[in-house]
Amino acid sequence: MISFLKKIYFVDDDPIFTFISKKLMKEEQFGASLIGFEHGKEAIEALLECDEKDNLLPTVIFLDISMPVMNGWEFLDSFQAAPINNKEKIKIVVMSSSINPLEIGMIKNYPIVHDYIVKPITPADLNKIKDCLINEHQA
């Protein structure tokens, strides 16, 4: 386990995909604490509460695009506008089953997005993210 991967948020409304992904993350030792949310509004509220109480913010947020209540695009807009201290240290990884070039292009409008993964998440995806985080942490 990498010492700075203490808390991971997983924001996706698909319970089967979430279960399988979280199981894979545990097998790959990607994060000590994996916290799931069914939509972006829950995740934003949790981030604001963490910041307010000076609790540990997540290192990585895995974010689905298509969700009810608050979708991934709305989450990204809310995250950018939210008064969260040190939010620039959080890496957001967008997950989608879409390979639509327009959607992938829209991601480039959000410099806060660290990576884009086409579902399902694979061990190679997690290792790539882990390697990037290690390199940034050591820099």
pLDDT in tens, 77-133: 999 999 999 999 899 999 988 778 888 888 888 999 999 999 999 999 999 998 888
Mean of pLDDT over the chain: 90
Mean of pLDDT values over 23-51:
92
Domain ranges across the chain = 7-138
Q: In 108-124, which positions are buried (b, 16+ CB within 10 angstroms) versus exposed (e)?
A: eebeebbbbbebebeee
Cα–Cα dist 14/87, whole Å: 26
pLDDT in the model for residue 80: 95
CA–CA distance, 105 with 35 (Å, rounded to integer): 28
pTM: 0.92
Q: Which two tokens stand for residue 97?
A: 């089953």
Superfamily the domain 7-138 falls into: Response regulator (3.40.50.2300)
pLDDT band at 139 (very low <50, low <70, confident <90, very high): low
pLDDT at 50 exceeding the cut of 70: yes
